[in-house]
Structure 1
Amino acid sequence: MTVQVMLISPALNAALREARFDGDAPLDAAGIRRAGAVAAGVPEADRYLRGPSERCAGTADALGLRAGPEPAVRGWDMGRWSGRRLATVSAAEPEAVSAWLTDPSAAPHGGESLFELRARAGRWLEALESSADGAGRRVLAVVEPAVVRAVIVGALALPVEAFWRLDVAPLTLTALSGRSGRWNLRCGQQLSPVPRPAV
């Protein structure tokens, strides 16, 4: 059965601006304003979901979505690195960061490896396909950028290393349509702000 899965990456917050590993920080005022400004550009769906992070919850709220939390699309578990700056961790643990960036099975932070993240994202996508019915073929989820990247890598059967070559900007829409083994991708569509009425 053909399914359309639309993924929106959350608005910026302080953690993203400071290049921190996800620490479940909420949106700041600027992120809320930006998400609210593009709310009218969000496509309709049969089901609305979101990652359980505060950033995804705040983005979904600012977009006006009644999206329930979905644990299967939680952000990448960074273990003891969560909330820390990449530059700080790189200076303190250069070998560990190098392993994390080059070995998809490595999890020096004690959280998930890239392989584990991709597998989790793939299981979620497969579950959506198998549970889709006439009323649930269009699913929209607000999820962390790492989850968007992992879904793309798994759906298109790309080498897992391609994960590091994908950029997912804040408040962009990535859409997959099709079914297992035959997904089409539309990525990086910017949600457009509502035009101001002429005075």
Structure 2
Amino acid sequence: MTSRLVLVSPAIGAALREARFYDGAGSLDEVGAARARAAAGTLPEAARVVVSPGVRCRETAEALGLRGVVAAELAPLDAGRWRGRALAEVGAAEAEAVARWLADPDRAAPGGESVREVCARVGRWLTSAPEGRTVAVVEPEVVRAAVVHALGLPAGAFWRLDVPPLTATELSGRAGRWNLRLGRPLGADRE
């Protein structure tokens, strides 16, 4: 039987608008919450729902009418001491460190984890994906890591994948072979 994963990125909030490094906080704003509520009922029926730790993923799942289990292994990339700060702020203060971090998938943010590490962590979760359909409300970094792992892309491709808010990226497969359907906006007509 086939595993089907629907990876849903969270709705928009101030932290996402400001390109702040994930720190577990950061609620949805009213626009994001309203869009998520409007998309409720548009996801396919699932055998299980999992949610990335963090407020905006839990709030998005709730607004979509989903009740899921928090999956710690689906936490986004740990930005270490940059957590909660805006990318522009960190880039102005530590331009060389940010440039090296963005260019080298093996380089971790100070006190955090590397892109390669998050791809491996999410990859281990994918490898253990049960048969049937799973809906996972996860941060954009987790969607990127899942796609990199599923398609066998080089870890350097991670930053080249855009994951818009409130979209569904679908993976389906068996025995480690995955197919990909990218970024369908929730609420959009399905073919």
TM-score range, shorter chain: over 0.9
Amino acid at match of 2:183: G
After TM superposition, the structure 1 stretch with the greater mean CA deviation from structure 2, 89-98 or 178-187, is 178-187
Is the contact between residue 53 and residue 75 of structure 1 (CA under 8 Å) also seen in structure 2? no
Q: Structure 1 residue runs of 4+, over 4 Å off?
A: none
Alignment of 1:112-191 (within 5 A): 112-128=113-129, 132=130, 136-191=131-186
1:182 Cα deviation after fit: 1.3
Give the CA deviation at 1:191.
0.8
- Structure 2: which amino acid aligns with 1:143? V
Conservation of the 8 A alpha-carbon contact between 1:125 and 1:151:
yes
Whole-angstrom distance in 2 between the partners of 1:169 and 1:34? 13
Deviations 1:98-139, CA, capped at 9 Å, x for gaps: 1110111111321110010000010000111xxx2xxx5111
Sequence identity, in percent? 55
Give the conservation status (yes or no) of the 8 Å contact 2:51–2:138: yes
**Residue aligning to 1:88:** 89
Per-residue CA deviations over 1:3-36 (Å, capped at 9, x if unaligned) read: 1011000001100111111122121222111100
Matches within 5 A, 1:52-131: 52-128=53-129
Aligned-residue RMSD, C-alpha:
1.4
CA distance in 2, matches of 1:108, 1:160: 15
Distance 1:16 1:95, change over 3 A: same
State whether structure 2 residue 10 is matched by structure 1 residue 14.
no
Tell me the TM-score normalised to structure 2 length: 0.94
Q: Is the 8 A contact 1:155 1:180 kept in 2?
A: no
2:82–2:109: 8 Å Cα contact kept in structure 1? no
Judged with a 3 Å threshold, the aligned counterparts in structure 2 of structure 1 residues 180 and 89 are, in CA distance, closer, same or farther, namely farther
- Structure 1 unmatched runs, 5+: 195-199
Cα offset, 1:68, TM superposition: 1.1
Aligned residues: 188
- TM-score, structure 1 normalization: 0.91
Task: Give the residue type in structure 2 aligned to 1:73.
Answer: L
Say which one has the larger Rg. Answer: 1
> Structure 1 residue 179: deviation in Å?
2.0
Q: Rate the CA distance shift 1:138–1:23 in 2: closer, same or farther, 3 A.
A: same
